[in-house]
């Protein structure tokens, strides 16, 4: 049985932060035809979505709303219908459709999901989760969108990683809005 891939999709600033010093990532939101087409196409997959608590709460407060369905119908429909897992020691319940709460054993759960037949996994935001899974060698692909902005301070999604995982580039794409998609796979 083939292992299913874990893809990390995150936006980062030119200076490598995925959120600013206040945890804000509104700087990453673009609204133009080319970018919207890319995000709609990217959302068309059949992955299980993985989140940490903070990203889950942010996503769950937007994607199920009428505003999300009106502004981004294809993405909102996929975000709401896909299965989701939120890793959190502090949440006691989840309310977004098709969401499962996992309170302990994150790495073990991801290993189990990778062995199962079915869907791949996509992890968005969730820097603490990204760093823990990178440390465990569980990331199969990084899709980083570099935004043409310097934040000065913020948080790296790899804070705390000690093992120095290495990656090799597989694909790039430049957008008219200045964003650049960089795709990487781990070096075995």
Rg (CA), the chain: 16
**Residue with the two structure tokens 């909102």:** 76
The residue assigned the tokens 């990084």 is: 142
State residue 1's pLDDT score.
41
- Other C-beta atoms closer than 10 Å to the C-beta of 130 total 24
How far apart, in whole angstroms, are the C-alpha atoms of residue 99 and residue 97? 6
Q: Which class does domain 6-186 fall in?
A: alpha beta
Task: Give domain limits for the chain.
Answer: 6-186
Residue 86's pLDDT is what? Answer: 96
Q: Are 36 and 72 in contact (CB under 8 A)?
A: yes
pLDDT value of position 91:
95
- pLDDT tens for the chain, 188 residues long, are 456 899 999 999 999 999 999 988 889 877 788 988 888 777 767 789 999 999 999 999 999 999 999 988 888 998 999 999 999 999 999 999 999 999 999 999 999 999 886 778 999 888 889 999 999 999 999 999 999 999 999 999 998 888 888 999 999 999 999 999 999 999 97
> Residue 13 belongs to what H/E stretch?
strand 6-13
Residues 7-36 as b/e (b if ≥16 CB within 10 A, e otherwise) read bbbbbbbeeebbbbeeeebeebebeeeebe
The pLDDT assigned to 38 comes to 87
Name beta bridge partners: 78: none
């Amino acid at each position: 049985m083939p292992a299913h891939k874990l893809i990390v999709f995150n936006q980062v600033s030119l200076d490598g932060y995925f959120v600013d010093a206040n945890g804000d990532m509104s700087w990453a939101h673009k609204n133009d035809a080319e970018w919207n087409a890319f995000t709609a196409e990217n959302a068309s997959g059949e992955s299980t979505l993985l989140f940490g608590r903070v990203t889950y709460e942010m996503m769950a407060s937007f994607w199920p709303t009428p505003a999300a369905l009106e502004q981004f119908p294809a993405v909102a429909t996929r975000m709401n219908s896909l299965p989701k897992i939120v890793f959190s020691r502090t949440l006691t319940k989840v309310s977004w459709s098709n969401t499962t709460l996992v309170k302990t054993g994150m790495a073990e759960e991801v290993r189990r999901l990778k062995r199962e037949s079915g869907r791949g996994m996509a992890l968005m935001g969730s820097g603490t989760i990204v760093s823990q899974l990178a440390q465990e060698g569980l990331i199969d692909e990084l899709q980083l969108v570099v935004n043409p902005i310097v934040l000065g301070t913020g948080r790296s999604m790899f804070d705390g990683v000690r093992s120095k995982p290495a990656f090799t580039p597989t694909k790039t794409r430049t957008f008219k809005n200045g964003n650049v998609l960089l795709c990487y796979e781990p070096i075995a």
